[in-house]
Amino acid sequence: MFYYIVRRILQLIPVVIGVTLILFLLLYIIPEDPARLILQKGATPEALANLRAKLGIDKPIYVQYWRYMKNLFSGDLGTSYRYQRSVNSILAEHYPYSIKLALAAIIIEIIIGIFTGIISAVKKYSFWDMLATISTTLLVCVPVYWLGMVMQVIFGLKLGLLPMSGYGDGSIRYYIMPALALASVSTAYVARMMRSTMLESLSNDYIVTAYAKGLSQFKVIGKHALKNALIPVVTLIGLDLGSIMGGAILTETVFNWPGVGRTVYLAILQRDAPVVIGGTIVLVMIFVIMNLLVDILYAWLDPRIRFEKKEINV
Amino acid sequence: MKNYKRLIVVIAILIVVVLIGTMFAGCKKTEAAVGGDTMRLFIVQPVSLDPPFCMESEGIQVARQIWDGLFEYDRKTLDLIPELCDKWEVSDDGLVYTFSLKKGVKFHDGSPLTAEDFVYSWTRAALAATAAPIAYHLGPIKGFDACQDGSATTLEGVKALDAQTLQVTLSYPYADFVTTLGHVVFYPVKKADIDKWGADYTKHINGTGPFKFVEWVDDQYVKLTRNDDYYGEKAKLDAVEYKIFADENTAFLEFKAGNLEFTQIPIGKIKATQDDPTFGKYCLTAPLLAYNYYAMSMNFPLFADNPKLREALNYAIDRENICQVLGEGVPTPMTGFIPPGIPGFQENAAPYTFDPEKAKQLLAEAGFPNGEGLPTLKFGYNAGSGHEKFGEAIQADFKEIGINMELEGYEWVTMLDKAKSGEITFFRIGWGADYPTMDNFLYPLFYSQSYDNYLAYNNPEVDKLLLEARSTIEKDERIAKYREVEKMVLADNVSMLIYFYGQRRVIQPYVKGFILDAMENYDLSKVYFEK
């Protein structure tokens, strides 16, 4: 297991090189000059040259890339073109908010998604199953932006139950609406997957045997069906943390959540390459680490799954 | 069962971690406001609060509360008011200005403000190494070009004669120079602060104004508190909190819930807000010192050789309809190149009305009867900024008189670069005031050598008169010359005038003493609440 983890961490190096290279090339081929974007008025050739020199974009792309990579491996993600501040400090200010919101969303996804999926499968074709199916279909279809605005108007403006936006003092009430909005689509997917894997699990012979042994429904579902049905769901949830963090732009915008998604999105619009690349590298690392954790969790949940060669061959 | 329990343990740990994280480990706890009345205002994330980097209105709004400059503008009349300056003199040749500073002015850290602080701040802003995006405002000061090309490390034209006297020498006579000194780029910073904080100074601001900087948390807020050691009249508010929003719709909901005192009205909600029984009377929709126009480049022979065609286009469009229907009544038809509010503004300087018949006649005189023989006009605009609908309305107006127009969306900078190189010859562009002077609307746009002259407009007579006006010290005489320039430019029909931008702001009814000027600046030190 130890070697597996080391190997997976080492795999990060080519991933990071690949990501930086692709992003560098993509941002370089866009004809918009970041210096020109900043200098809206009075963009004299001298002013443009001074700014390009300060931003380090006056050099050929390979020089820029080499310099970036050198700094990157010493932990320096560069300086934002637009804000002219360290990217490390910009990301350090924003990532904690995104991680916390993503974790809150994942908890909602786990609790509501799994519970709904189980009820739906156990009470197949019942009123509750239909309600769950309709709700999950709606959640998948409804744009997060719209859902967020509706929640803000109802629970914030009309009922005054929850704060409408922002991080405030960081208490749980500030998390409820953005986390629910962010988790909405993923929760629906988890519920659907849970339902189908549970149904598959419930149709196995050992379930019939368990019932024949006289076990209660609670025990059959909880002890025999659920643990087998959970494995693909755990994979989905684990991978979702990365997607939720990367895809939280709309939620962060509607709820004015000071996360990194919005920061990177604005940086893309402003051609602020160091922020885009830095933000993406951190996201990729989170994604890879989450993948690794899911794999480890997998093995922990299911003793049949092991990563050492000899055990796989057994 | 054992593995199932393990999953429950994992979930439980996650829940506990998040609960603890959310409740006790807030990334940045909101600090309590400084008691009493706190004015809460909507802004989007500022780029910087450091004066030479305040390149957009958000940073400027905040900086104006934290600093005083040598001069300020009267919020109602936009007249120039001395602020940190007691008196000032200008030499007979209009080149040397001497400013006497007010005594007893201190930075927020308690250190005294001296003329050396201005010398340092202006030199810093002008130097190539700083690469300040708004350094061009210091352009008229002697030695600016040498600072920009890297051949000088001091700004030759700025000297501290003593602790209270600042002398500024210009490269050429520029009568509006004093008016430009109300701009934020001229605010004084302390050398010791810049040496200490470097690029992070923007989060450790030390100003001289009625409010002190407390904290700026990215994408959340900028907090200010009253400066009780202020040399002038102390602010009535105890504190100011700029709440940062990415989406004006969210900010507007917060305003309606009573969580903001000042915000922007989102597009599409202006009429409804104006009709709202609570907020209707408190909508601020006055014209701004900014406009939107469609440039016809003199690089394009079709436009350069056909003044009648250029004139025809100006009579073909229904500006009133555009402003009322598409702009929800906020913008107003553009009637000249000097917006209302600028000293020297001429009512209806341009003769254009919506007159399709006259447009047709002019089109025929230009050699294109009913648009025959006229190639399709390719119109460039910056896509995704709401300009499409205006372009489409004008496209429809043109169609009525037989002119075909094709809309081509570009990225903003791509469009500017293509316009500069002559690749795009008919395009949408805008201009807003840096300071309330006629020069600020005429010299950059129409002086042949100006880098902001995207029209490739080159009229030697206009150039000559502009330079004359700039060096005319006597105000009325200067204004008369600028008015003449405006008439000459309008007579050349080089642009299609579209609209003057308007404000779309709203304040809470209990906010008193708040005056929003035509550059969207305000002075919060005069504001108080009456609840």
- pLDDT tens, residue by residue, B440-452: 999 999 999 898 9
Which ranges of B203-286 would DSSP assign to H, the alpha helix? 248-256, 270-275
- Whether residues A216 and A108 share a domain: the answer is yes
Q: Identify whether the C-beta of residue A214 lies closer than 8 Å to the C-beta of residue A224.
A: no
- Whether residues A105 and A169 share a domain: the answer is yes
- Whether residues A116 and A183 share a domain: the answer is yes
Residues B1, A223: C-beta atoms closer than 8 Å: yes
Looking at residue B31, its pLDDT comes to: 41
- Whether residues A65 and A159 share a domain: the answer is no
Q: Identify whether the C-beta of residue B430 lies closer than 8 Å to the C-beta of residue B292.
A: yes
Looking at residue A308, its pLDDT comes to: 52
Q: In this structure, is residue A221 part of a structural domain?
A: yes
Distance from the A20 Cα atom to the nearest Cα atom in chain B, whole angstroms = 24
Beta-sheet pairing, B426-432 with B495-502: unpaired
Residues B416, A36: C-beta atoms closer than 8 Å: yes
The verdict on A159 touching B (C-beta cutoff 8 Å) is: no
Strand ranges, E, within B418-483? 426-432
* Residue B105 to residue B110: CA distance in whole angstroms: 9
Residues of chain B with CATH 3.10.105.10: 287-502
Q: Identify whether the C-beta of residue B113 lies closer than 8 Å to the C-beta of residue B147.
A: no
* Residue A265 to residue B17: CA distance in whole angstroms: 28
Beta-sheet pairing, B283-284 with B71-73: unpaired
Number of continuous H segments (helices) and E segments (strands) in chain A: 17, 0
Looking at residue A312, its pLDDT comes to: 43
Confidence check: pLDDT of B11 > 90: no
Confidence check: pLDDT of B214 > 50: yes
> Any idea which residue has 């009922």 for tokens?
A159
pLDDT in tens, B315-349: 999 999 999 999 999 999 999 999 999 999 999 89
Order of strands, edge to edge, in the sheet holding B85-90?
B85-90, B96-101, B165-169, B158-162
Residues A170, B48: C-beta atoms closer than 8 Å: no
Looking at chain A, which residue has its C-alpha nearest residue B13? A107
CATH of the domain at A188: 1.10.3720.10
Confidence check: pLDDT of B228 > 90: yes
Which chain A residues are Cβ-neighbours of B3 within 8 angstroms?
Answer: 227, 300-303
The token pair that represents A177 in the structure block: 């609406």
pLDDT in tens, B136-145: 999 999 999 9
Residue A211: domain span: 94-270
Q: How confident is the model at residue B414 (pLDDT cuts 50, 70, 90)?
A: confident
Looking at residue B15, its pLDDT comes to: 56
Q: In this structure, is residue A195 part of a structural domain?
A: yes
The token pair that represents A306 in the structure block: 């092991």
Residues A51, B254: C-beta atoms closer than 8 Å: no
Give the one of A54, A175, A252 whose C-beta lies nearest to B131's C-beta.
Answer: A54
Mean pLDDT of chain B: 91
- Whether residues A232 and A151 share a domain: the answer is yes
Distance from the B507 Cα atom to the nearest Cα atom in chain A, whole angstroms = 18
- Whether residues A69 and A107 share a domain: the answer is no
Total residues found in chain B within this entry: 531
Which chain A residues are Cβ-neighbours of B451 within 8 angstroms?
Answer: 42-44
Distance from the A140 Cα atom to the nearest Cα atom in chain B, whole angstroms = 23
Which chain B residues are Cβ-neighbours of A268 within 8 angstroms?
Answer: none
The token pair that represents B87 in the structure block: 């008196």
| DSSP letter for each residue of B76-113 | TT--EEESSEEEEEE-TTS-EEEEEEPTT-B-TTSPBP
Q: How many CB atoms lie within 10 A of CB B145?
A: 15
Q: In this structure, is residue A282 part of a structural domain?
A: no
Looking at residue B29, its pLDDT comes to: 43
- Whether residues A134 and A225 share a domain: the answer is yes
* Residue A104 to residue A186: CA distance in whole angstroms: 13
Q: How confident is the model at residue B151 (pLDDT cuts 50, 70, 90)?
A: very high
Residues B6, A262: C-beta atoms closer than 8 Å: no
Number of continuous H segments (helices) and E segments (strands) in chain B: 17, 21
Residues B218, A90: C-beta atoms closer than 8 Å: yes
Q: Identify whether the C-beta of residue B371 lies closer than 8 Å to the C-beta of residue B404.
A: yes
Looking at residue B33, its pLDDT comes to: 39
Confidence check: pLDDT of B135 > 50: yes
Which ranges of B220-269 would DSSP assign to H, the alpha helix? 248-256
Looking at residue B486, its pLDDT comes to: 97
Residues B19, A106: C-beta atoms closer than 8 Å: no
Looking at chain A, which residue has its C-alpha nearest residue B11? A107
Q: Identify whether the C-beta of residue B483 lies closer than 8 Å to the C-beta of residue B492.
A: no
Distance from the B123 Cα atom to the nearest Cα atom in chain A, whole angstroms = 15
Which chain A residues are Cβ-neighbours of B47 within 8 angstroms?
Answer: 82-83
Q: In this structure, is residue A186 part of a structural domain?
A: yes
Q: How confident is the model at residue B98 (pLDDT cuts 50, 70, 90)?
A: very high
More confident residue, B407 or B2: B407
Burial class (CB in 10 A: 0-12, 13-18, 19+), B297: buried
Strand ranges, E, within B180-220? 211-217
Residue ranges for chain A with pLDDT beneath 50: 310-314
B25 in helix, strand or coil? coil
Stretch 218-237 of chain A: residues touching chain B, C-beta under 8 Å: 222-223, 226-227, 230, 234
Residues of chain B with CATH 3.90.76.10: 11-209+504-529
Cα separations (Å) of B472 from B157, B158, B177, B345, B468? 20, 22, 12, 18, 6
Within 8 A by CB and 6+ apart from A18, the residues are none
- Whether residues A234 and A100 share a domain: the answer is yes
Q: How many CB atoms lie within 10 A of CB B153?
A: 11
CATH 3.90.1150.10 fits B287-502, yes or no: no
Looking at residue A313, its pLDDT comes to: 43
Q: How many CB atoms lie within 10 A of CB A92?
A: 14
Confidence check: pLDDT of B176 > 90: yes
Q: Using alpha carbons, select from B53, B56, B33 the residue that is nearest to residue B44.
A: B56
Total tally of structural domains belonging to chain A? 2
Picking from B200, B247, B269 by the largest number of A CB atoms within 10 A of its own CB, the best residue to mutate is B247
- Whether residues A191 and A252 share a domain: the answer is yes
Cα separations (Å) of A89 from B98, B203, B250, B451? 42, 12, 27, 35
Beta bridge partners of B506: B263, B283
The token pair that represents B102 in the structure block: 């007010």
Q: Identify whether the C-beta of residue B248 lies closer than 8 Å to the C-beta of residue B264.
A: yes
Q: How far is CA A196 from the centre of its chain?
A: 24
Q: Which fold has domain B11-209+504-529?
A: Dipeptide-binding Protein; domain 1 (3.90.76)
What is this model's ipTM? Answer: 0.79
Residues A170, B26: C-beta atoms closer than 8 Å: yes
* Residue A227 to residue B4: CA distance in whole angstroms: 6
* Residue B475 to residue B468: CA distance in whole angstroms: 13
Q: In this structure, is residue A260 part of a structural domain?
A: yes
- Whether residues A52 and A132 share a domain: the answer is no
Q: How many CB atoms lie within 10 A of CB B245?
A: 25
* Residue A133 to residue A191: CA distance in whole angstroms: 9
Distance from the A3 Cα atom to the nearest Cα atom in chain B, whole angstroms = 24
pLDDT in tens, B26-55: 444 444 333 459 999 999 989 999 999 998
Q: In this structure, is residue A222 part of a structural domain?
A: yes
- Whether residues A120 and A69 share a domain: the answer is no
Q: How confident is the model at residue B128 (pLDDT cuts 50, 70, 90)?
A: very high
Q: Which of A44, A76, A108 is the last residue of a domain?
A: A76
Q: What is the largest CA-CA distance in chain B?
A: 95
Average pLDDT over residues B291-303: 93
Residues B136, A47: C-beta atoms closer than 8 Å: yes
Looking at residue B16, its pLDDT comes to: 54
Looking at residue B24, its pLDDT comes to: 41
The verdict on B14 touching A (C-beta cutoff 8 Å) is: yes
- Whether residues A69 and A113 share a domain: the answer is no
Q: How far is CA A124 from the centre of its chain?
A: 31
Q: In this structure, is residue A252 part of a structural domain?
A: yes
Looking at residue B18, its pLDDT comes to: 52
